[in-house]
Structure 1
Amino acid sequence: MKKLLLPLAVSAALAGCGGGETLEDVKQDTKPVTPVASVKFDPSNGVISVPNDILFSGTQDGTLNIPGELDGDSKPLLSRSGYADPSLALGGLDGWSTQMPYQIGLNTPTGVTIDAATVAAPGAVRIFEVVMGDDAQTEACQNLSPALACRVVSELTFGPTGDFVSQLSEDGQNINVIPVKPFKSNTTYITVLTSNIKDTIDGGRSLTPSSTYTLLRQEAPLVTDAQKSLQAVIRSYEQALVSSESISADEIVYTAAMTTQATGPVVGTIKQLLASTFGTAKQPVVAVPDQDFMSVADKFTELGLAGALPPELLQAAGGIRYLTGNIQLPQYLSRPKNGEDAALADTYWQALCDNGVAVAAAKAQAGGQLPEPEAGTVDAQCNALSGGQLRDLGIDAQKFVSKYNVIPKEQWVANVPVQITFPLSQAPETGYPVVIMQHGITSKKEDMLSLTLALSQAGFATVAIDHPMHGERGIDVDGDGVDEFNATTKSVLHYMNLQSLLVARDNLRQSTADLLALRFGLNAINAFSQVPLNFNTNDVSFVGQSLGSVVAPSFIAHANLPIENELLKAAEPLFKVGPAALSSGGAGIANFLVESASFGPVVKTAVVQGASDLAVSKKFVSYLQEGAVADCGTFAGSASAFAACAYNTFVANLEAEGDLASIAAINGTVDQFAYASQTVLDTADPLNYAPLVRAVNTPMYMSVVVGGEGENKGDQVIPATTLPRNPLGGSTPLAVLMGLETATESKQSTDGTAGRYVVNFSQGHHSSMLTPSFDARTGGTAQGHAQATAEMQRQVATYLASKGLILPITDTTVIAK
Structure 2
Amino acid sequence: MKKLLLSLAIASAITGCGGGETLEDVKNDNPPVLPTATVKFDPANSVISVPNDLLMSGTLDGTLNMPGELDDDNVSVDRAAYADPQLALGALDGWSTQTPFKIDLTFPSGISLDMTSAASPGAVRIFEVVMGASQTDETCSQVPAGIACKLVSELTFGVDFITQGSGDAVAVIPLKPFKAGSTYINVLTTSLMDSEGRSIEPSSTYALVSEEATLITDSQKSLQAVINSYENAVTSGGAITKDEIIYSAAMTMQSAGQVLGTVKQLLAASLTQDALPTPMVQIPDQPVITVEQVFASQGITGVSPVFGGVQYQKGSVMLPMYLATPTGTTVDDLSATYWQGLCDSGVAVLGYAAAAGDSFPTDPISETDGLCMALSEGKLRDLGLDQTKHLTKYNTIPKTQSIANVPVQITKPILPVINAVRAQLGLDALSMPETGWPVVILQHGITSKKEDMLAITAQLTLQGFATAAIDHPMHGERGVDVDGDGTDDFNASTGSVLSYMNLQSLLVARDSLRQSVADLLGLRLGLNFTGAADLNARDVSFLGHSLGSVVAPAFVAVTNAPLADQVDPMFNVKSVALASGGGGIASFLIESNTFGPFVQGSVLLAAGTAESAEFGAYAQNEALSNCGVLLPDQTKFVTCAYKEYVGSLTVAGETEKLANIQSVVTQFAFAAQTALDSGDPSNYAASVAALGTPVYMSVVVGDGANNNADMVIPPMVASNPIAGSLPLANLMGLSTVAETQGPTADAMSYVVKFTKGHHSSVLSPAATEDSGATAEESAAATTEMQLQIATFLASRGQYLQVTNTEVVTE
TM-score (norm 1): 0.93
1:557-600 CA-partner distances (Å, limit 9, x unpaired): 1010011xxxx542221000011100000000000000000000
Pairs within 5 Å for 1:390-405: 390-405=380-395
| Equivalent in 417, 436, 444 of residue 441 of structure 2 | 436
CA distance in 1 between partners of 2:617 and 2:362 (Å): 58
Tell me the distance in 1 between the aligned counterparts of 2:638 and 2:327: 28
Match of 1:523, SS? helix
The equivalent position to 1:717 in structure 2, one of 700, 712, 723, is 712
The aligned amino acid for 1:498 is L
- Residue 108 of structure 2 corresponds to residue 125 of structure 1: no
Corresponding position of 1:609:
605
**Which aligned pairs between 1:159-558 and structure 2 lie closer than 5 A?**
159=158, 162-169=159-166, 171=167, 173-201=168-196, 204-278=197-271, 282-306=277-301, 309-310=302-303, 313=304, 315-371=305-361, 376-425=366-415, 426-525=431-530, 527=531, 533-558=533-558
Equivalent residue letter for 1:481: G
Change (3 A) 1:685 1:24: farther
Greater mean alpha carbon deviation, residues 470-479 or residues 510-519:
470-479
Residues 27 and 211, structure 1, Cα contact 8 Å, conserved in 2: no
Measured after TM superposition, the shift of residue 369 of structure 1 is 4.0
Give SS of 2:477's match. Answer: helix
Structure 1 pair 470–183 and aligned structure 2 pair: CA distance change class (3 A): same
Mapped partners of 1:768, 1:576: distance in 2:
28
Who is 2:752 aligned against?
759
Question: Do 1:377 and 1:392's aligned partners in 2 also have CA atoms closer than 8 Å?
Answer: no
Q: Distance in 1 between matches of 2:387 and 2:273?
A: 33
Gaps of 5+ in 2: 15-31, 416-430
Report the CA distance shift for 1:470/1:734 in structure 2 as closer, same or farther (over 3 A). same
Per the alignment, residue 570 of structure 1 pairs with: 566
Q: Give the partner amino acid of 2:45.
A: N
Identity %: 53
CA offsets, 1:89-136, max 9 Å, x none?
Answer: 000000001001100000101021221111111111100000111235
- Partners of 2:544 and 2:488 in 1: CA distance: 25
- 1:600 matched residue in structure 2: 596
Larger mean CA deviation between 111-120 and 349-358 belongs to: 111-120
CA distance in structure 1 between the aligned counterparts of 2:401 and 2:136, rounded to whole angstroms: 36
After superposition, give the CA deviation of every residue in 1:179-234 in whole Å (9 maximum; x if it has no partner). 11111110000000000111232xx1111000011111111232222221111101
Q: Structure 2 CA distance, aligned partners of 1:105 and 1:79?
A: 32
Contact preservation (8 Å) 1:588, 1:687:
yes
The equivalent of 1:30 in structure 2 is 13
Q: In the TM superposition, what is the alpha-carbon distance from 1:304 to its structure 2 partner?
A: 2.3
Distance 1:374 1:537, change over 3 A: closer
User: Is the 2:364–2:373 Cα contact (8 Å) retained in structure 1?
Assistant: no
Q: Distance in 1 between matches of 2:493 and 2:688?
A: 29
Structure 1 residues 622 and 571, CA, compared in 2 at 3 Å: closer, same or farther? same
Correspondences of 1:63-82 after superposition (within 5 Å): 63-70=63-70, 74-76=74-76, 78-82=77-81
- Which residue of structure 2 lines up, in the alignment, with residue 154 of structure 1? 153
Matched letter for residue 747 of structure 1: Q
Deviations 1:287-311 (A, max 9, x none): 01121221111111222222xx34x
Alignment TM-score, normalising by the size of structure 2: 0.94
Q: Is the 8 Å Cα contact of residues 365 and 383 (structure 2) preserved in structure 1?
A: no
Contact 1:24 1:44 in 2 (8 A): no
Q: CA deviation at 1:778?
A: 1.2
Pairwise CA distance, 1:375: 5.6
Q: 2-side partners of 1:101 and 1:227: how far apart?
A: 30
Match of 2:788 in 1: 795
User: RMSD over aligned Cα, in angstroms?
Assistant: 1.6
- Do the aligned residues in 2 keep the contact of 1:707 with 1:816 (CA within 8 Å)? no
Distance 2:652 2:524 in 1: 56
Q: CA contact under 8 A between 2:408 and 2:470: conserved in structure 1? A: yes
CA contact (8 A) 1:278 1:571 kept: no
Q: Match of 2:357, SS?
A: coil
Q: Please say if 1:702 is aligned against 2:706.
A: no
- Which consecutive unaligned segments of at least 5 residues does structure 1 have? 1-10, 17-21
- The alpha-carbon deviation at position 554 of structure 1 amounts to 0.4
Q: Distance in 2 between matches of 1:374 and 1:561?
A: 32
| Residues 372 and 135 (structure 1), Cα distance of their counterparts in 2 relative to 1, 3 Å cut | closer
Asked if the contact 1:445/1:466 (under 8 Å) is kept, the reply is yes
Q: Distance in 1 between matches of 2:290 and 2:487?
A: 28
Q: How does 1:543-692 map to 2 (within 5 A)?
A: 543-563=543-563, 569-612=565-608, 614-692=609-687
2-side partners of 1:136 and 1:284: how far apart? 33
Q: Distance in 2 between matches of 1:341 and 1:143?
A: 46
Q: CA deviation at 1:72?
A: 7.4
Paired residues of 1:151 and 1:244 also in contact (CA < 8 A): no
Aligned residues between the structures: 776
Q: Provide the rounded CA distance (Å) in 1 between the counterparts of 2:397 and 2:768.
A: 44
Deviations 1:684-713 (A, max 9, x none): 000000000001100110000000164100
Q: Distance in 2 between matches of 1:145 and 1:74?
A: 25
Residue by residue over 1:761-788, the C-alpha shift from the partner in whole angstroms, topping out at 9 and shown as x without a partner, is 0000000000100011111211111100
What is the aligned partner in structure 2 of residue 7 from structure 1? none
Deviations 1:521-545 (A, max 9, x none): 00111x1x5xxx5111111000000
Note the C-alpha offset of 1:389: 1.2
| Letter paired with 1:627 | E
Shift of 1:376: 4.5
Does the aligned pair in 1 maintain the 2:331–2:498 contact within 8 Å?
Answer: no
Per the alignment, residue 748 of structure 1 pairs with 742
Which residue of structure 2 aligns with residue 771 of structure 1? Answer: 764
Contact 1:709–1:780 (CA under 8 A) maintained in structure 2: no
Are the counterparts in 2 of residues 168 and 175 from structure 1 also a CA contact under 8 Å? yes
Runs of 4+ in 1 over 6 A off after TM superposition: none
Corresponding residue for 2:726?
A: 732
**Structure 2: distance between partners of 1:341 and 1:197:** 46
What is the match of residue 3 of structure 1?
none
SS in 1 for 2:315: strand
- Counterpart Cα distance in 2 of 1:94 and 1:259: 8
2: CA distance, partners of 1:385 / 1:345: 28
- After TM superposition, the structure 1 stretch with the greater mean CA deviation from structure 2, 296-305 or 593-602, is 296-305
- Range moving further from structure 2, 293-302 or 509-518: 293-302
CA distance in 1 between partners of 2:225 and 2:299 (Å): 69
In structure 2, relative to structure 1, the CA distance for the partners of 1:33 and 1:261 (3 Å cut) is farther
- Stretch of structure 1 that moved more, 215-224 or 534-543: 215-224
CA distance in 1, matches of 2:433, 2:136: 51
Whichever residue aligns with residue 127 of structure 2, its letter is F
C-alpha distance in structure 1 between counterparts of 2:361 and 2:622, whole Å:
63
Deviation at 1:88, TM superposition (A): 0.6
Task: Give, in whole Å, the separation in 1 of the partners of 2:358 and 2:152.
Answer: 34
**1:802 offset after TM fit, Å?**
1.1
